[in-house]
Amino acid sequence: MLKKLIFTLLSSIIPTFLFAQTAPQAAQSSNLEMLLYVIVGLVLLISVLVLLVAIYTLYVVRAILKQEQTVSGESKVEEPGETIWMKVSKSLTRAKPIEEEEDILLDHNYDGIKELDNHLPPWWKWLFYITIVWSLIYLLAFHVFDWMPLSSEEYNISIARAEAAMEAQKASSPSAAIDENNVTVATEEAALAQGETIFIRQCAVCHQQDGGGNVGPNLTDDYWIHGGSIKDIFSIIKYGVPQKGMISWESQLNPTEMRDVASYIKVKLVGTEPANPKEPQGELYDPSTEEEENIESDTTEAATDIVAQILKHGGSLSN
Amino acid sequence: MALEKFQYDNKIVKAFIIATVIFGTVGMLVGLTIAIQLFHPQFNFGIPYTTFGRIRPLHTNAVIFAFVGNAIFAGVYYSLQRLLKTRMFSDLLSWINFWGWQVIILSAAITLPLGFTTSKEYAELEWPIDIAIALIWVVFGVNMIGTILKRRERHLYVAIWFYIATFVTVAVLHIVNSFEMPVSLFKSYSWYAGVQDALVQWWYGHNAVAFFLTTPYLGLMYYYLPKAANRPVYSYKLSIIHFWALIFIYIWAGPHHLLYSSLPDWAQSLGVVFSIMLIAPSWGGMLNGLLTLRGAWDKVRVDPVLKFMVVAVTAYGMATFEGPMLSLKEVNAIAHFTDWIIAHVHVGGLGWNGFLTFGILYWMVPRMWDTKLFSTKLANFHFWIGTLGIIFYALPMYFSGFTQSLMWKQFSDQGVLLYPNFLETVTQIIPMYMLRAIGGLLYFTGTVVMTYNLVKTAQQGKFIANEDAEAPALEKETTKDGYWHRVLEAKPILFTVLTLIAILIGGIIEFVPTFLIKSNIPTIESVKPYTPLEIHGRDIYIREGCNTCHSQMVRPFRNEVVRYDPNDMEYSKAGEFVYDHPFLWGSKRTGPDLHRVGKKYPDSWHYFHMMDPTTMSPNSIMPPYPWLYDHYIDVESTSAKIRALRTVGVPYEEGYEEVALDDIYQQADGIVASLSLDGIEVHPETEIVALIAYLQRLGTDIKVDKNVAEE
């Protein structure tokens, strides 16, 4: 009960703590949405605070100007009684009015600078107290009672949540279920166009826009280091070849996008004549074997040594 | 009571004022240059000495230590004499202070573009200059304490408390953070490594802001603001409470620069809570300043001096509220490494330090030259264009920081990064970089106008080199003032000692466990010292200031791990940095993080990329580094480097330096061979080979076991 109370208190001070804590409920909503709420909340919080400060400053200035006029005798006649604002101000600063300043003028004189003995503004004092209490609660919450996750725990929570979301996504949408075992060449123009866009944006840096190769190998010839079937290419894109500098794109491209870019390579790039082709690397791959492969292999490991075995088979490019 | 006659030394103040104006102009001009480079990289003229990585530290050093530094001395030398009713303790020390400081600035202006740097932010200067800084700072301290001791005023005014805290703390910060092992005249390795180095550095870095940009300026505010407004200080009590609270709490808050890093969680939390507790003490200064203006607001409307001061104090209040907010972990997760931080420091720097300096200069110069300000109109123009400059600077940076951070973090519905290419998040904010440069230009224009106005003012007046003054000699205190703090104010030595104690506590409590308790930095067996070639590469990385734009700290966030280490999904661990003298975590990501860049791309990728980044990343704003291809590493220095690193604790075997050269050539030949596969011919001793060796090593040790298992 106490824990809940303090937690509510804390989260009202910093709405963002909700982020890390309420994992079960938040699992459904996407990260982005959460982030949006957090930011909107923060912006609101800060704006409200800034607004309050601004209003307060404005008010102080007004009050001071008013007092100024009173002192200089322009409007000797005070409005009957104090306004609410004046009362608020008085309770906030507990300042001696300017006209009674003499009472609290200390006998200090430094090169003509004098000092007043005004009270500490109560709101300031309370702000200080509250931040100290908040700090104690904060330290206890993180390091004594473990109510709040430390950074590594927070990381694990976010990864677990993302994985759960991915599983759910896979189950609900067929495109997310595409993987290296079931991928087939996409031939629709829309898919190939998307593949081209991705290729130019992500792949061209190392493989050249025309696929001729640069830092990465030539993708237009029939020689492939890791196999030239759609499944091989998909697999290389997905997992990368870290030793050779090909990064894993699994976290940056979704399965459909990986299929599209692999298809783009197979359909649009292979067999073209690039401007500055890099010399062939790897082994000759016979595209005519692919149909066979679709039937026979269901793992990438199998796909790599399939080349030799399949050379004797005939067939045409499958889709 | 007999009045003693004496003279205030205005000549030394004049010298510091001139230096302030000159170095302010230079520092801002360098700032403007690097601002332009961010959207127009060619603005470095293609030479090493003006690339971003080298002159960004020049900008920060120039504005902090040359502009603000000289302004502090000018303001302190003027006000200290008058607050204590005496001339400075020693004219000789005053002038040693002045010329020593200018020589230090000059040596910084030469060595930083040449690439002599320790890489530690705001402490980049190499060890001989560090020693010079320590000596000159002590000269300043002796001169100040000496002046205090021969005072004609019994009690020390609040401004002087702040001056004392400044002197004591900056000395401690500078000396502790500058422990380093010299390799040669202009090369050293930090005494500390990795996490510990980071903690010491940000204890220093944060408190350089606190005790070089804040406390001395609060002291100046307490003198010049009541003088200019001709009003009594609002609350003596508030002065006392906020002074002690501020200096005690400030020192703890350094770790808020390292939230979500490999720093132990408990230290991060201390950074958070002490930052939050800092709000009230900081605002105490703002309140005492603004409330002092009660009854003087009619003057604020007409007097440019007060206008500058009001905006300065308000900017101080905003920055000291924003700072604690940025220290909250969830806010920090968004803001850190982005332009939001740049906006934050410039609200403080341009608003608080800049505007208070301008206000003080407009106030002092007419008085020292016994005349009126040449043109109030021009001063008002300066005020408005300066304010506009700050707004044009800060708003685009807030916007770009927010935008970029969101882009880094966004995942699509399918669980992949929405902007996987870091560069996309950079090109998105380039228009903001342009607006920011306009803001900087406006602010700079204001400074030029001020210079003209001040010169004209001096020309129409007559400089009073020695200002006559008189005051009764200091007598034994006859009436005891009951208030405890009043007693303390009459005992400067005790006051200084108490200040020292107050600022030491936080540092000690944070340092000792981090250095002594092993569990704070869990060992990773597979992490090994750098090879000699990698040391050379790392030194090139430091020389070129790569860390000004690239962090080496993958924070424990899903988006960062996915972005920077998609293959192995490892965020940065404390144990990975144990041989990093100095640490190179960085504080800003203008480019992507590099901690997991090792083995991510082939050698040839780096070769082409350093030659011209746009070949590998079209539209990149990173400058080319062609000189790495025809400069050779100094293989002769290898053994000295290894010995120095061994001294600071890297476990190279005794005698390893004798065979290190073999290792250099073996590793370099491997890289040369891999490059030749891609048709590249390169000499094994060229700098690019060493740099590639270092980059390919980065963050890979932790994966050694995994790779062995796979192969």
Residue B100: CB atoms within 10 A of its CB come to 18
The mean pLDDT of A204-222, rounded to a whole number, is: 86
Residue A166: pLDDT band (50, 70, 90) is confident
Query: Chain A residues with CB inside 8 Å of B293's CB?
Result: 64
The predicted structure's pLDDT at residue A68: 60
| Disruptive mutation site among A65, A115, A148, A209 for chain B (greatest number of B CBs within 10 Å) | A115
pLDDT tens-digit profile of B331-357? 999 999 999 999 999 999 999 999 999
| Disruptive mutation site among B416, B422, B571 for chain A (greatest number of A CBs within 10 Å) | B416
Cα separations (Å) of B183 from B122, B190, B535, B644, B664? Answer: 21, 11, 13, 6, 19
Higher-pLDDT residue of B147, A179 = B147
Residues 6+ apart with CB under 8 A from A188: none
| pLDDT surpassing 80 at residue B466 | yes
d(CA B459, CA B365): 11
Greatest mean pLDDT among A290-299, A300-309, B482-491: B482-491
d(CA B447, CA B362): 12
In chain B, the largest separation of any two C-alpha atoms, in whole Å, equals 93
Q: Is B241 in contact with A46 (Cβ distance < 8 A)?
A: no
Lowest mean pLDDT among B333-347, B401-415, B474-488, B665-679: B474-488
Sign of the torsion angle spanned by Cα atoms A191, A197, A198, A203: positive
Residue A15: pLDDT band (50, 70, 90) is very low
Nearest partner of B710 among A311, A55, A243, A222, judged by Cα: A243
Per-residue tokens: A43: 């912006």
Asked if A3 has any chain B CB less than 8 Å from its own CB, the reply is no
| pLDDT surpassing 90 at residue A59 | no
Q: Which helix (H) or strand (E) holds A300?
A: helix A300-304
Higher-pLDDT residue of B391, B618 = B391
d(CA A155, CA B570): 11
Q: Is B280 in contact with A46 (Cβ distance < 8 A)?
A: no
CB A118 within 8 A of CB A95: yes
The verdict on B55 and B131 lying in the same domain is yes
Asked if A51 has any chain B CB less than 8 Å from its own CB, the reply is no
The predicted structure's pLDDT at residue A57: 78
Residue B675: pLDDT band (50, 70, 90) is very high
Facing residues of B19 across strands? none
Q: Is B227 in contact with A116 (Cβ distance < 8 A)?
A: no
Residues 6+ apart with CB under 8 A from B186: B111, B114, B116, B126, B128
Chains A, B: CB pairs < 8 Å: 228
Nearest CA in chain A to B266: A143
Q: Is B273 in contact with A139 (Cβ distance < 8 A)?
A: yes
**Mean predicted lDDT score pLDDT of chain A:** 75
Cα separations (Å) of B334 from A77, A150, B409, B640? Answer: 54, 17, 9, 42
d(CA B251, CA B248): 6
Facing residues of B10 across strands? none
CB B135 within 8 A of CB B100: yes
Domain ranges across chain A: 2-101+120-152, 182-310
CATH for B536 = 1.10.760.10
The predicted structure's pLDDT at residue A16: 40
Check residue A314 and give left, alpha or beta (phi > 0: left; psi -120 to 50: alpha). beta
The predicted structure's pLDDT at residue A96: 82
Amino acid (one-letter) located at B350: L
| pLDDT surpassing 50 at residue A316 | no
**Mean predicted lDDT score pLDDT of chain B:** 94
Q: Is A110 in contact with B153 (Cβ distance < 8 A)?
A: yes
Asked if A184 has any chain B CB less than 8 Å from its own CB, the reply is no
| pLDDT surpassing 90 at residue B616 | no
Residue B78: pLDDT band (50, 70, 90) is very high
d(CA B372, CA A192): 76
> Domain A182-310 class?
mainly alpha
Residue B45: CB atoms within 10 A of its CB come to 11
| Disruptive mutation site among B269, B330, B338, B674 for chain A (greatest number of A CBs within 10 Å) | B330
E-only strand ranges, A39-115: none
Nearest CA in chain B to A162: B415
DSSP string covering B150-200: T-SSSSPPHHHHHHHHHHHHHHHHHHHHT-EEEEETTEEEESS-HHHHHHH
DSSP string covering B382-422: HHHHHHHHHHHHHHHHHHHHHHHHHHHH-B-TTSSBSS-SH
Lowest mean pLDDT among A252-256, B41-45, B60-64, B575-579: A252-256
- Smallest CA–CA distance, residue B420 to chain A, in Å, is 5
Per-residue tokens: A299: 């793992």
Q: Is A118 in contact with B235 (Cβ distance < 8 A)?
A: yes
Coil, helix or strand at residue B310: helix
Degrees, nearest 5: CA angle B162-B168-B169: 85
The mean pLDDT of B69-97, rounded to a whole number, is: 97
| Disruptive mutation site among A116, A140, A170, A253 for chain B (greatest number of B CBs within 10 Å) | A116
Nearest CA in chain B to A11: B330
Query: Chain B residues with CB inside 8 Å of A98's CB?
Result: 294-295
- Please report how the helices B236-250 and B279-292 are oriented relative to each other, as an axis angle in degrees rounded to 10: 150
Per-residue tokens: A304: 């790599």
The mean pLDDT of B348-374, rounded to a whole number, is: 97
Residue B481: pLDDT band (50, 70, 90) is low
| pLDDT surpassing 50 at residue A20 | no
| Disruptive mutation site among A74, A111, A198 for chain B (greatest number of B CBs within 10 Å) | A111
Nearest partner of B440 among B313, B551, B342, judged by Cα: B342
Lowest mean pLDDT among A193-197, B21-25, B500-504, B627-631: A193-197
The verdict on B452 and B537 lying in the same domain is no
| pLDDT surpassing 80 at residue B638 | yes
- Smallest CA–CA distance, residue B637 to chain A, in Å, is 32
The predicted structure's pLDDT at residue A296: 40
Phi, psi of B189 (to 5 degrees): -115, 140
d(CA B35, CA B27): 12
Q: How many residues does chain A have?
A: 319
The verdict on B490 and B559 lying in the same domain is no
Lowest mean pLDDT among A158-162, A285-289, B267-271: A285-289
pLDDT tens-digit profile of B549-566? 999 999 999 999 999 998
CB B121 within 8 A of CB B113: no
Query: Integer distance in angstroms from the first to the last C-alpha of chain A?
Result: 61
Q: Is A127 in contact with B234 (Cβ distance < 8 A)?
A: no
Asked if A240 has any chain B CB less than 8 Å from its own CB, the reply is yes
Per-residue tokens: B277: 């507790």
The predicted structure's pLDDT at residue A200: 86
| pLDDT surpassing 80 at residue A84 | no
Strand pairing of B180-184 and A283-284?
unpaired
Residue A182: pLDDT band (50, 70, 90) is confident
Count up the domains in chain B and report the number.
2
CATH for B319 = 1.20.210.10
Degrees, nearest 5: CA angle B79-B225-B208: 70
Nearest to A131 among B279, B409, B417 (CB): B279
Facing residues of B8 across strands? B467
Asked if A255 has any chain B CB less than 8 Å from its own CB, the reply is yes
Note down the domain range covering B591. 532-710
The mean pLDDT of A43-71, rounded to a whole number, is: 74
Coil, helix or strand at residue A117: strand
Facing residues of B417 across strands? B411
Q: Which helix (H) or strand (E) holds A207?
A: helix A204-207
Burial pattern B271-298, b for ≥16 Cβ within 10 A else e, equals bbbbbbbbbbbbbbbbbbbbbbbbbbbe
pLDDT tens-digit profile of B693-706? 999 999 999 987 66
Query: Chain A residues with CB inside 8 Å of B297's CB?
Result: 61, 64-65, 68
d(CA B137, CA B169): 11
Q: Is B571 in contact with A61 (Cβ distance < 8 A)?
A: no
The predicted structure's pLDDT at residue A91: 76
Lowest mean pLDDT among A86-90, B67-71, B451-455: A86-90
| pLDDT surpassing 80 at residue A18 | no
The verdict on B458 and B576 lying in the same domain is no
- Smallest CA–CA distance, residue A315 to chain B, in Å, is 35
d(CA B515, CA B84): 43
CB B369 within 8 A of CB B362: no
Nearest CA in chain B to A135: B273
| pLDDT surpassing 90 at residue A53 | no
Nearest CA in chain B to A242: B600
Nearest to B411 among A32, A139, A142 (CB): A32
Per-residue tokens: A230: 């759609």
Higher-pLDDT residue of A280, A5 = A280
The predicted structure's pLDDT at residue A94: 80
Q: Is B616 in contact with A121 (Cβ distance < 8 A)?
A: no
Check residue B87 and give left, alpha or beta (phi > 0: left; psi -120 to 50: alpha). beta
Per-residue tokens: B667: 């590793």
| pLDDT surpassing 90 at residue B548 | yes
| ipTM of this predicted structure | 0.92
Degrees, nearest 5: CA angle B431-B434-B436: 110
CB B386 within 8 A of CB B378: no
The predicted structure's pLDDT at residue B516: 85
| Disruptive mutation site among B235, B278, B347, B411 for chain A (greatest number of A CBs within 10 Å) | B235
The verdict on B110 and B187 lying in the same domain is yes
Lowest mean pLDDT among A309-313, B124-128, B274-278: A309-313
Nearest to B556 among A124, A138, A151 (CB): A151
pLDDT tens-digit profile of A133-158? 999 999 999 999 988 899 999 999 99
The mean pLDDT of B171-194, rounded to a whole number, is: 95
CB B105 within 8 A of CB B30: no
The predicted structure's pLDDT at residue B183: 95
Sign of the torsion angle spanned by Cα atoms B569, B574, B575, B579: positive
* Cis preceding-peptide flag for B592 (omega within 30 of 0): no
